[in-house]
Amino acid sequence: MLRQNRRRNLSSDLPIATIAFTTLTLAAVLALAGVIPAHAQTFTVIHNFTGGNDGANPQAGLAMDAHGNFYGTTNAGGHTGDGVVFKMTNRGSGWILSPLFNFDLSTNGAGPYGRVFLASDGTLYGTTQYGPIQGGCTVNPGNGCGTAYRLQPPPTAPRSTEVIWRETVLHIFQGPDGFQPQGDLTFDQAGNIYGTTISGGNGSNCSGGCGVVYELAPSGGGYTQSVLYSFQNNGDGFDVYGGVVFDNSGNLLGVVQNGGLNTRGAIYELSPSGSGWAERTAYAFPLNEVTGAFPIGGLINDGAGNLYGTTSQGGTFYGTAFELSPGGGGWTLNSLYDFAPPGSNVGPVEKLYLGTDGNLYGTSYSSGPNNRGSVFKLTPTNGSWTYTSLHDFTGGSDGGYPISNVVMDSSGNLYGTASSAGGGNCDAGCGVVWEITP
């Protein structure tokens, strides 16, 4: 549903602007049960992508280091139009964006559609959906099946704001081992990397494969890739988005957008079994969509063993937030909130964020009063959860259609991206990085 086409040949020398907005509460929102008005939140665009060297159309959120710097990716733009990895640094009264690496479809991949993982040594890990062209991809030979990569900073601090980090391609996907890697990467204590691909694998009930869960294990100075599970669309689902997360028992859990026992998507669990992994359905979203349908954003673990996630559609109107709790050898899904009008369209498509204040934060893709997406907060209140809109995108200079997680700094400020609008040399705008201050 939300598979993105790569945009090419973007270039611009437009200036980068900082634009501030104050979120206003609409009368229609006040009338909704379970919804409270936004307080005096201030929404600020801290970077407006131009489509030039800084990139265009971010389709993932941000990772934050211990110093409050942010790292992210754009799906397009940069020197070749194939996307960039960037760093955002606060300098006095503003933010500076530094491109760290430019992707090239012909050699190292293109179209990153996932957040980077920031290791403790400052190394970045991530994936690209496509490339390289000569990578031996069997299902998409013209554009390649995607890569997993590592970026390492230069040994000395650069004098320029634009310095190229050293990239190592850890794996080139070829189709049977996955196609279109997407979503967050997960590491275990031994340094093994786990992730998902939207399609690929050996599932014959899907054109180009139904998607896989894979592992990259350190081996001989490099990495060896293994497919832990290849989806078949025979009740297990297909279109594997969002990456995987470990539960407290060492099992891996994730979501499939489509298929499953009721054809509305599902949550799956992979458990170590002998020398491999055994798959089972942890929860199949029902045909009547009452608890949601078509999950895209992955899951998060609260540390106590409970998992949280979202669906992009279903529920009362356009998606739900839910909690998945372990017990009795299985899982129980509890609906936390049904996203309701104003607006309809597509709800959340990225992971939630659990703040230190106990609230859940996230974005919706194209809902809200302007049908351009929203940033929201869910607050536990007397056994239920209360929705607060922190910003409703207009699709203008503030951006629109966020495919982003939310991150919070030590002062309680929130940060994320919007995939389009804003400004720059892109047909529908090149997207923005935003900040919300309490």
Task: CATH number of the domain at 202, please.
Answer: 2.130.10.80
Q: Would you say how long the chain is, in residues? A: 438
Distance, CA of 303 to CA of 179 (rounded, Å): 31
Domains contained in the chain, number: 1
CA 409, 413, 419, 422 dihedral sign is: negative
Looking at the domain assignment, is residue 92 inside a domain? yes
Residue 1 lies inside a defined structural domain of this protein: no
pTM of the model: 0.91
pLDDT, greater one: 155 or 69: 69
Average pLDDT over residues 153-176: 83
Between β-strands 117-118 and 124-128, what pairing exists: parallel, antiparallel or unpaired?
antiparallel
The per-residue pLDDT for range 49-79, each reduced to its tens digit, is 999 999 999 999 999 999 999 999 999 999 9
Alpha-carbon distance 169 to 167, whole Å? 7
Asked whether residue 9 is assigned to any structural domain, the reply reads: no
Among the listed residues 77, 66, 91, 109, the one whose alpha carbon sits nearest the alpha carbon of residue 11: 77
Chain-centre distance for alpha carbon 267: 17
Instruction: Domain of residue 121: give its range.
Output: 19-437
Per-residue model confidence (pLDDT) at position 345: 82
Q: 393: number of CA atoms within 13 Å, CB side?
A: 33
What is the pLDDT, as a whole number, of residue 257? 98
- Pairing relation of β-strands 19-22 and 42-48? antiparallel
Show the tokens assigned to 419: 């995939």
pLDDT tens for each residue of 199-214: 999 999 999 999 999 9
**Within a domain: 203:** yes
Average of pLDDT values for 160-184? 91
Within-domain flag for 405: yes
Which pairs from 380-385 meet CB under 8 Å and 24+ separation?
384/34, 385/34, 385/321, 385/336, 385/337, 385/360
Strand order across the 84-91 sheet: 63-64, 70-74, 84-91, 94-102
Residue 29: band (very low, low, confident or very high) from pLDDT cuts 50, 70, 90: very low
What pLDDT band is residue 340 in, cutting at 50, 70 and 90?
Answer: confident
- The answer to whether residue 110 scores a pLDDT higher than 90 is yes
- Classify residue 3: in a domain, yes or no: no
Q: What is the pLDDT of residue 286?
A: 98
